[in-house]
């Protein structure tokens, strides 16, 4: 599904399911930042959202689906709820614990720039949830 076709979208929710490939992650980070700005998130925090969401999506591409095939997907959900912007990046891959020689800075970056961040991993996939307080519109 192309990035410009939302799976579901309302004024306070954006849902995209895209191929877990670098090009989709790069394009979607800008879509997310613009969406958050339109909901009143300050520019500085929107830049943090852009960085952290991109790190989460890059982790999906690199770690959940290391074979890099186009049939692997990630689902990105952004919501404005109860005065917060919440972004969730989810995959159907498998979490791999342990140090990797080709990176390993994604989660520390996420935790440094997102006021709230959590990772939930199950045998059927991993979900990264990021949250920023957002002024009332």
Across 26-54, average pLDDT:
95
The pTM for the full model equals 0.84
**Residue 99 pLDDT level (bands cut at 50, 70, 90):** very low
Tens digit of each residue's pLDDT (9 = 90 or more) over 72-88: 899 999 999 889 999 99
Q: For the chain, give every domain's residue range.
A: 8-133
Tell whether the model's pLDDT for residue 18 goes beyond 70: yes
Which two three-digit tokens encode residue 71?
């049939």
Q: What is the pLDDT of residue 50?
A: 97
Compute the distance between CA of residue 106 and CA of residue 71 in angstroms, rounded to an integer: 23
CATH code of the region 8-133: 3.30.565.10
SS (H, E, C) 26-49: HHHHHHHHHHHHHCCCCHHHHHHH
CB 16 within 8 A of CB 75: yes
């Amino acid at each position: 599904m192309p990035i410009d076709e939302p799976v579901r979208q309302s004024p306070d929710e954006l849902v995209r399911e895209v191929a877990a490939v670098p090009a989709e992650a790069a394009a979607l980070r800008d879509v997310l930042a613009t969406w958050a700005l339109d909901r009143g998130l300050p520019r500085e925090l929107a830049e943090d959202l852009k960085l952290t969401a991109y790190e989460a999506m890059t982790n999906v591409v690199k770690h959940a689906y290391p074979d890099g095939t186009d049939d692997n997907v990630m689902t990105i959900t952004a919501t404005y709820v109860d005065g917060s912007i919440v972004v969730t990046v989810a995959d159907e891959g498998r979490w791999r614990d342990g140090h990797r020689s080709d990176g390993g800075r994604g989660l520390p970056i996420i935790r440094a720039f997102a006021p709230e961040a959590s990772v939930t991993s199950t045998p059927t996939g991993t979900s990264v949830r990021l949250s920023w307080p957002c002024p009332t519109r």
